[in-house]
Amino acid sequence: KLSDRLATVAKYVPQGAKLADIGSDHAYLPCHLAKNKVIRFAIAGEVAVGPYQSAQNNVQSEGLTDIISVRLGDGLAVVEPDEAECITIAGMGGSLITTILEAGKEKLGSVSRLILQPNISAISIRKWFLENNWELITEEIIEEDEKIYEVLVGEKGDPKKPYSTNLEMGLLFGPFLHQRKEEAFIKKWSREMRNWQRIYEQLEGAPPSQETIDKRQELKEKIKMVEEVLRNED
């Protein structure tokens, strides 16, 4: 059985898709999708030898070698042009995910959907979508084992469409998540705010260089944004 986190990613893979799961580790996601007859083909890409071997073992022991091709290589280098219609990248930082997408841009021609699950810095992905004409079509936030995860789904389209007047807040909080303000969202941003407040107070004791002044100003602005978002939520 998949974790809730990977099940949330799986939910957005279109029926019959040709998938590339990059950083697949054990290949749990493509194996689950193949067993449930959601995908017709998948590439499980891995840059590290250990996880690559573990993916290969799992695919073999599940009898899925006809459907899932396990490949060793960096990011989208393992994907041939026109091979994938949907890409999943889960369980990494948002900036690593955008580095992989940026480096593999020429492989995205045949891809109509990206499903990305950054562990941190979802803002990097929203910014990359905006700059590369991918439209954020939906987002989810979930809590599992005390950790909070975001899943972002993009399709080619109007990258500005999900955002209203305040782009900065939209990029930070996620336009869909901000609007829904679910429990996990409130929890995540309350945590972040307490963290920033702690750093802000620590910097009070630091020597007053331009750097600490700027840092405090930046933190103050971020704290103010979160306060605004969480207002009326007690």
C-alpha to C-alpha distance for 32 and 42, rounded to whole angstroms: 11
**b/e map 176-210, b = 16+ CB within 10 Å:** bbbeebeebbeebbeeebeebeeebeebeeeeeee
Binder of ligand SAM out of 25, 139, 140, 150 (CB under 6 A): 25
| Position 24 contacts ligand SAM (CB under 6 A) | yes
Task: Report how many residues bind ligand SAM under the rule CB under 6 A.
Answer: 16
60-99 binders of ligand SAM (CB under 6 A): 74-75, 90-92
Under 8 Å between Cβ of 45 and 21? yes
**CA-CA-CA-CA dihedral for 75, 77, 81, 87, to nearest 10:** -10
Name the segment binding ligand SAM (CB under 6 A); options: 18-26, 62-70, 127-135, 172-180. Answer: 18-26
C-alpha to C-alpha distance for 187 and 203, rounded to whole angstroms: 25
How many whole angstroms from its chain centre is CA 135? 14
Name the segment binding ligand SAM (CB under 6 A); options: 39-47, 178-186, 199-207, 224-232. Answer: 39-47
Within 13 Å of residue 175, how many CA atoms lie on the same side as its CB? Answer: 21
**Using CB under 6 A as the criterion, what x/- string covers residues 135-174 for binding ligand SAM?**
----------------------------------------
**Using CB under 6 A as the criterion, what x/- string covers residues 170-199 for binding ligand SAM?**
------------------------------
Name the segment binding ligand SAM (CB under 6 A); options: 32-40, 46-54, 133-141, 216-224. Answer: 46-54
| Position 51 contacts ligand SAM (CB under 6 A) | yes
C-alpha to C-alpha distance for 116 and 22, rounded to whole angstroms: 10
Binder of ligand SAM out of 30, 45, 118, 175 (CB under 6 A): 45
| Position 100 contacts ligand SAM (CB under 6 A) | yes
Closest CA to 68 of 94, 32, 100, 92: 32
Q: Whats the size of the chain, residue-wise?
A: 234
195-234 binders of ligand SAM (CB under 6 A): none
> 17 vs 171, which CB is nearer to ligand SAM?
17
CB of 9 to ligand SAM, least distance (A): 7
Which residue, chain included where needed, has tokens 């899932």?
68
Residue 68's φ and ψ, nearest 5 degrees, are -110, 125
Question: Which residues are near ligand SAM by CB under 6 A?
Answer: 6, 22-25, 45-48, 51, 74-75, 90-92, 100
